[in-house]
């Protein structure tokens, strides 16, 4: 019988142990138990373990236990493949060092201003966490010096190799002191990574943690076979019928992250896009909102979601099937991490069957065919959610005033208690009706049998690019496109615009057409016969503490708000992440 190891058995410093206790950690994971003593003993290490097994704590806890708080120049450098992972690792260091007074960690990555990073490095930091491209930039500028480095760590080395950072890594390792401790973590050990280990690590200890269960085996994987023009309505039903905490929806292009986000937000979901065209502040804010529960859904491309590890994510939806099996495994790996369970749903079309079969071969698992959620399922989910909200109010809210008011209202209206309760429930659920009519959704005559050849769709007869389901049937001929001076950088969401215009202009929300959010402004389609007085009033309306100053665009776009400033190019936004030259590297270097 194996003896249980506790964190107190690992010779960690008292402040670090206190932080571990504060965070609720009980026993170290296998990679932590094996690695922490070796790092404390100044051994070079090659650690092989699956993503999500606690590797960050495996190197951060022992490094912090040996940090010299009086030495202000960097003592530890951690290299990560993506800016998101660099930020998360830096946040983990900060959490583990909460009881180390005066400790400073600095993430450096492309997309963030050099001045901010340079000033922090001048003030003094103990740990630098960065992407290889930006670390190398600082070395070349002389703003980062490695002379005081005691430990150099490569996190997800195989991913850095795949993203084209191998030469940068070697340059940085050549610049590091030869006597410093070097530690490498990698899920796999391809030949180029093994070569780096042989060249730079001194008699490294190899720690290989075999996963008892692969990530995909902990994930309930299902697929839905349908036509492209049914995907939006199928997605809407899935989000209504499934139970989840947080969700990532994967698409192939940057432009679709924004387009789909706006469509779902208009349907009442708390959703935001993550893509390479967003500025870094907006990306970081989105991830924080997802972690805190202020946001339930993010729509992302493969590159933008690299390194994203949020415990709340219990559902992954592949709106677009990935073009290679490795991308599929990475996508669904955003859930089911570190022993947790999760669910992954794939939306696919008959012509994409070969990709579906390739995924099943790669994962050695059959994906289960799922039915389109019915109106009865959606109605039941809405009823359950409504009941839970009522139960929460009954248990946590003082209701005496409302009981007295209810009694007076019942007497005044001369109705029974059940009639009054029914009327109040009707008012409370008006935006999300408990009675769901099939007419609320597009007819879903989908492919249920995976062996079905799909008729003309396999030969290109009917399968068309998604143009938004019911949205494409909307008549925009009687609409005028207006510009308002609020956008994403002001924290504005589609629902804010709909609510403000509907309330202030006294028009039905259904008369508000397509809304397009941009960084500093937005466009909205409104009826052409809007009274002048209503438009004058809207000019003075504020959204998120900013006056919208509504104005007609120079010409009616007729397509629902694709208006842009004339000098701005439109070509980039419609490109796939994969087609952008060196897209992965450029997103992380930020040059």
Q: Are residues 262 and 339 in the same domain?
A: yes
Res 566: pLDDT = 35
Q: Are residues 361 and 421 in the same domain?
A: no
| 225 phi-psi bin (left φ>0, alpha ψ -120 to 50, beta other) | beta
Q: Are residues 179 and 36 in the same domain?
A: yes
The tally of domains found in the chain comes to 4
| 239: its two tokens | 């989000």
Residue 424 to residues 57, 440, 556, Cα–Cα distance (Å): 51, 23, 42
The domain boundary, picked from 392, 419, 440, lies at 440
The domain boundary, picked from 440, 459, 484, lies at 440
> Residue 459: inside a domain, yes or no?
no
> Residue 446: inside a domain, yes or no?
no
> Residue 454: inside a domain, yes or no?
no
> Residue 466: inside a domain, yes or no?
no
> Residue 366: inside a domain, yes or no?
yes
- What CATH number has the domain bearing residue 193? 3.40.50.300
Q: Are residues 142 and 254 in the same domain?
A: no
CB under 8 Å to 100, separation ≥6 — which residues? 15, 16, 64, 67, 69
Per-residue pLDDT tens digits of the chain, which is 591 residues long? 446 688 989 999 999 999 988 876 767 888 899 999 999 999 999 998 766 567 889 999 999 999 999 998 999 999 998 888 888 899 889 989 999 999 999 999 988 888 899 999 999 999 999 999 999 999 999 999 999 999 999 998 888 888 888 899 999 999 999 999 999 998 888 888 899 999 999 999 999 876 544 556 678 899 999 887 889 888 988 998 888 889 999 998 888 898 999 889 887 788 999 887 777 778 888 888 888 888 999 999 876 676 677 878 899 999 998 877 777 887 888 886 655 678 999 999 887 887 888 888 878 888 999 888 877 777 777 777 778 778 888 888 888 888 888 888 888 888 888 888 888 887 877 666 666 654 444 444 444 443 333 333 333 333 333 333 333 344 556 788 899 998 887 878 887 788 788 778 777 766 788 888 887 888 998 888 888 888 888 888 888 888 898 988 754 433 333 333 333 333 333 333 433 334 334 334 443
Q: Are residues 200 and 219 in the same domain?
A: no
Res 378: pLDDT = 72
> Residue 166: inside a domain, yes or no?
yes
| 97: its two tokens | 């060092």
CB under 8 Å to 278, separation ≥6 — which residues? 286, 488
| 275: its two tokens | 């893509």
Res 210: pLDDT = 67
Residue 304 in contact with residue 274, Cβ under 8 Å? yes
Q: Provide the domain limits for residue 541.
A: 474-566
Q: What are the φ and ψ backbone dihedral angles of 586, each rounded to 5 degrees?
A: -65, -30
Q: Are residues 185 and 273 in the same domain?
A: no
Q: Are residues 282 and 398 in the same domain?
A: no
Res 393: pLDDT = 83
- What CATH number has the domain bearing residue 545? 3.30.70.330
> Residue 445: inside a domain, yes or no?
no
Q: Are residues 289 and 351 in the same domain?
A: yes
The domain boundary, picked from 166, 185, 208, lies at 208
Q: Are residues 145 and 102 in the same domain?
A: yes
Q: Are residues 243 and 392 in the same domain?
A: no
Q: Are residues 17 and 149 in the same domain?
A: yes
Give the number of other Cβ atoms within 10 Å of residue 269's Cβ: 20
Q: 3-class SS at 289?
A: helix
> Residue 515: inside a domain, yes or no?
yes
Q: Are residues 198 and 56 in the same domain?
A: yes
The Cα 204–Cα 163 span in angstroms is 25
């Amino acid at each position: 019988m194996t003896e249980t190891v506790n964190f107190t058995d690992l010779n960690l410093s008292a402040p670090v142990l206190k932080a571990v206790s504060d965070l609720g950690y009980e026993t170290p994971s296998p990679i932590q138990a094996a690695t922490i003593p070796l790092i404390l003993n100044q051994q070079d290490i090659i650690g092989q373990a699956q993503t999500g097994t606690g590797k960050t704590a495996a190197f951060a806890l022992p490094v912090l236990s040996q940090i010299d708080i009086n030495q202000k120049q960097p003592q530890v450098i951690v290299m990560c493949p993506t800016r998101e992972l660099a930020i998360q690792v830096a946040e983990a260091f900060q959490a583990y060092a909460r009881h180390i007074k005066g400790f400073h960690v600095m993430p450096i990555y492309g997309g963030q201003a050099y001045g901010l990073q340079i000033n922090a490095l001048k003030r003094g930091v103990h740990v630098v966490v960065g992407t290889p491209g930006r670390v190398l930039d600082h070395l070349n500028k002389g703003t980062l010096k490695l002379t005081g480095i005691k430990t150099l760590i490569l996190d997800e080395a195989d991913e850095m190799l795949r993203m084209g950072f191998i030469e940068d890594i070697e340059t940085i390792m050549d610049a590091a002191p030869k006597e410093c401790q070097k530690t490498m973590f990698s899920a796999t050990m391809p030949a180029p990574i093994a070569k780096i280990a042989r060249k730079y690590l001194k008699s490294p200890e190899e720690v290989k943690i075999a996963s008892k269960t692969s990530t995909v085996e902990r994930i309930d994987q299902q697929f839905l076979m349908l036509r492209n023009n049914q995907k939006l309505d199928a997605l809407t039903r899935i989000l209504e019928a499934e139970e989840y905490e947080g969700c990532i929806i994967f698409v192939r292009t940057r432009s679709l992250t924004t387009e789909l986000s706006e469509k779902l937000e208009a349907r009442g979901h708390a959703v935001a896009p993550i893509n390479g065209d967003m500025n870094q502040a907006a990306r970081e804010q989105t991830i924080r909102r997802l972690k805190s529960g202020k946001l339930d859904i993010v729509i992302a491309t493969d590159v933008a979601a690299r390194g994203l590890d949020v415990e709340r994510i219990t559902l992954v939806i592949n709106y677009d099937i990935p073009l290679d099996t490795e991308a599929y495994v990475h996508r669904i790996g955003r859930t089911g991490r570190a022993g947790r369970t999760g669910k992954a749903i794939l939306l696919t079309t008959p012509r994409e069957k070969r990709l579906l079969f390739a995924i099943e071969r790669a994962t050695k698992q059959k994906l289960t065919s799922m039915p389109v959620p019915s109106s009865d399922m959606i109605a039941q989910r809405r009823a359950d959610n409504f009941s839970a909200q009522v139960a929460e109010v009954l248990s946590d809210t003082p209701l005496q005033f409302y009981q007295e008011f209810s009694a007076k209202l019942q007497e005044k209206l001369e109705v029974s208690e059940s009639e009054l309760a029914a009327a109040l429930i009707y008012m409370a659920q008006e935006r999300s009706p408990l009675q769901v009519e099939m007419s609320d959704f597009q007819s879903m005559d989908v492919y249920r049998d995976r062996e079905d050849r799909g008729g003309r769709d396999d030969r290109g007869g009917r399968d068309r690019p998604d143009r938004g389901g019911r949205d494409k049937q909307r008549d925009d001929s009687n609409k005028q496109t207006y510009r308002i001076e609020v956008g994403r950088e002001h924290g504005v969401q589609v629902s804010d615009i709909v609510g403000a215009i509907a309330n202030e202009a006294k028009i039905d929300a259904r008369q508000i057409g397509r809304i397009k959010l941009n960084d500093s402004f937005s466009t909205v389609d409104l009826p052409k016969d809007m009274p002048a007085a209503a438009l004058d009033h809207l000019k003075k309306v504020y959204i998120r503490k900013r006056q919208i100053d509504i104005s007609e665009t120079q010409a009616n776009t007729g397509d629902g708000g694709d208006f842009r400033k004339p000098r701005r190019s439109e070509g980039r936004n419609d490109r796939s992440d994969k087609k952008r030259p060196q897209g992965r590297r450029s997103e992380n270097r930020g040059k």
